[in-house]
Chain A
Amino acid sequence: MSDPEESKPDTTSPGEPEESPRPATGEGEAKAEAPIEASAGEGAAAEPVETPETAEEEAAQKAAAAAAAKAKAEAAAQAKAAAEAAKPPWERDPRVPEWQEAGDDPLAAAVAAQHGDGLLAARTFAGDLALDLAPGALREVAADLKHSHGYTLLVDICGAHYPDREEGDFEVVYHLYCFEQNRRVRLRVRTDEHGEVPSVVSVWEGANWPEREAWDMFGIRFADHPDLTRILMWEGFNGHPLRKEFPVEGVDTGAAIYPEYYEEEAGPVAGTGTGWKPTPPPEPEPSEPAPADEPQEAGSADPAP
């Protein structure tokens, strides 16, 4: 049997406020939890035997005061907190992680010292250190992390799209891993549709494909990438599917790819079937290559009508 106090080991949660009652626990939530607790069965280790004693002692000390009602409420909250703490972790209310400033983290401090303005913010969430970087500083920081801080393994690169942001609606997220410290770090770089993020292929060769994927899926450009072509979608595909405005049903790509089969604007439209016309035009030119070579960047951000 495992130690019940032990939570998931890799979530090295930042603070350890095990005993403090969560301020978020309001009455409504407590009521909502009641049936779940009742149904939790015999696994609930907490018996509400001891805690009321202390609560009542405290209440007795303040009994003379007129604020008995208030004290009772306080006591109830304390009792609840104590009962909560006595329960095994999986019976307690889930503690939702929160962002915490991590400027004093040694790594963040080192990066800040070396790259100054390049580091925009350093925070942790659920134990993961996230460094927000300026695009210009990315490659230097990455190389620095790899060569002087031991973050030798590039875990992942991915893009994300935040169209509601006022500026920099694309984000590239890098996950790195350090073997010596057994720790991951996340780098985030904001850019926009026309901006460029420096490619880190020169730092990690393995960045090639994920950067291509970020280009393919989001249209994020990477400067100095050796082969920035589509990887999951086909060459000549029109649009970037993981953008938020891209419809799930797909968009008209036929006209761009099969000009001899589709009239202008006559390709498949989102959600309306394929629109494929079975009969080819009477005289297809055999010498003419069928697919359009250009991926038609201009219309790429076009959502379907």
Chain B
Amino acid sequence: MTESIETPTPDGETLFGLEEMELNFGPQHPATHGVLRLKLKVDGERIIGCYPIIGYLHRGTEKLFELSPFFQNIPHTDRMDYVAAATNNLAYVGAVEKLLGLVVPPRARYIRTILSELQRLSSHLLWLATHAIDIGAMTPFFYTFRERELILDLFEEYCGARLTLNCMRPGGQPYDLPVGWTDRCRELVDLFPAAIEEYGGLLTENRIWKKRTIGVGVLTAEKALAYGVTGPMLRGSGIQWDLRKAMPYEAYDEVDFDVPVFHNCDTYDRYLVRMEEMRQSTRILDQCLKQLPEGPIMGKRPRVLKAPKDSEVYHGIEGPKGEIGFYIVGDGKQQPYRCRVRPPSFYNLQVLPDMVEGLLLADLVAVIGTTDIVLGEIDR
């Protein structure tokens, strides 16, 4: 562990001729959350170099966007960050609406807010489950999936799908809420704070959990900004920035919520940020359900969505993992000429080598967990 035996002699040779080992971590590894591959240089268990290799899940989504009309591209967005389909949908339809100047009626905006907050909860639950299991606590996994199941049931009832929702359209919502849906959502919102306390009871004050996460994977605010890190990771690094507050979209300016921020920049703080975000999401859901207006769910829009000639917009929203944005270039056709996704995980993963250098192999797993990556989005 210490460097004494590796300290080179004046001749430039180490005493025991130690050499570092190259370790291929992934792409098929239980803790790389999909198909992330890391080329590690390890000295014993200490990581002295890390080079991420991505692209194993590359499906050419951005190319596919250029083929289909604006409507038909929505399912592609589901499959990028496949645990947060609703927010992907929202970012995409938001960009298309901005491009075409569509206005969304209030009820649809509220439904979108509810759906994306539910999605944030479900994404954070999945993150908590896998993060905990990476650090060796297997029980929270089942507790979080118990509640996640309820959320997926709500999704299923709304749009028929549980994971790849395809639940938004440019200009509004495709369906109104089913009868009784709000009551069931209300039940979930009522039971959720207790559930969060239950997860927290397993982990927050757990000494081993704290030992494994406090001071591990420190990401300073400067680093986070330099690397374009967004979302809970940025807020865990002491920067209180949330697009829901900064550039409110949908109904977020009509609800009251706090943006959690913690200043220790480590894995534990990012854990606390996400836990607090779940509480705030519950608050938002609660207010949305109370304020949900009646009225139409689809605004006026042309029969055929055609992008204006020579047009381009960027629209970013706060996804569960950070800013997910779409940059769409239109050329007067029904298809986007170019559609670029700003994937939050891509930027958040980029900072991983900086965070893990000098840590142990076990910390690497904790740090991968805390970045909350989804390879479907990184590779697109």
Contacts and interface: CB of A to CB of B under 8 A. Distances in A.
Contact of A186 (B98, B310, B314, B342): B314
B346 interface: yes
B342 A175 contact: yes
Contacts of B139: none
A255 B106 CA distance: 56
Interface string A252-294: 0000000000000000000000000000000000000000000
Interface string B166-194: 00000010000000000000000000000
B300 to A, nearest CB: 5
B1 interface: no
A99 B330 CA distance: 13
B44 interface: no
- Size band of the interface chain B makes with A: 35 or more
Nearest to A154: B228
B106 A1 contact: yes
B228 A8 contact: no
A242 B60 CA distance: 8
Contacts of A204: 226-228
Contact of B340 (A1, A93, A128, A156): A156
A179 B247 CA distance: 11
Interface in B33-80: 54-55, 58, 60, 62-64, 67
A155 B323 contact: yes
Interface string A231-258: 1111000000110001010000000000
B97 A8 contact: yes
A233 B327 contact: no
A95 B101 contact: yes
B379 interface: yes
Contact of A241 (B63, B248, B295): B63
Interface string B229-251: 11000000001010000111101
A48 interface: no
Contact of A152 (B64, B106, B225): B225
B316 A97 contact: no
Contacts of B197: none
Nearest to B316: A155
B327 A126 contact: no
A90 B299 contact: yes
B128 interface: no
Contact of A92 (B227, B251, B300): B300
A119 to B, nearest CB: 18
Given A10-B248, A173-B340, A242-B63, A233 B313 contact: no
Interface in B288-331: 291, 293, 295-296, 299-303, 308, 310-316, 323, 325, 327, 329
Interface residues of A, number: 61
Contact of A90 (B105, B313, B315): B105
Interface stretch (A54-62, A68-76, A137-145, A205-213): A205-213
B103 A94 contact: yes
A175 B314 contact: yes
Given A10-B248, A156-B340, A128 B314 contact: yes
A90 B314 contact: no
A206 B227 contact: yes
Contacts, number: 163
B251 A2 contact: yes
B296 A10 contact: no
B303 to A, nearest CB: 8
A92 B103 contact: yes
B253 interface: yes
Given A2-B109, A158-B340, A99 B54 contact: no
A303 B105 CA distance: 46
B338 interface: yes
B102 interface: yes
Contacts of B351: 206
Interface string A135-166: 00000000000000000111110101100000
Contact of B300 (A90, A130, A231): A90
B261 to A, nearest CB: 13
A7 interface: yes
A88 interface: yes
Interface in B100-132: 100-106, 109
A125 B309 CA distance: 12
Given A11-B98, A125-B313, 18 more contacts: A10-B248, A33-B300, A90-B105, A90-B172, A94-B301, A97-B313, A125-B311, A128-B312, A154-B228, A155-B228, A175-B327, A204-B226, A206-B228, A232-B54, A232-B379, A232-B380, A233-B55, A234-B55
Interface of A: 1-2, 4, 7-11, 32-33, 36-37, 40-41, 43, 88-99, 125-126, 128, 130, 152-156, 158, 160-161, 173, 175, 179, 182, 184, 186, 204-206, 208-210, 217, 230-234, 241-242, 246, 248
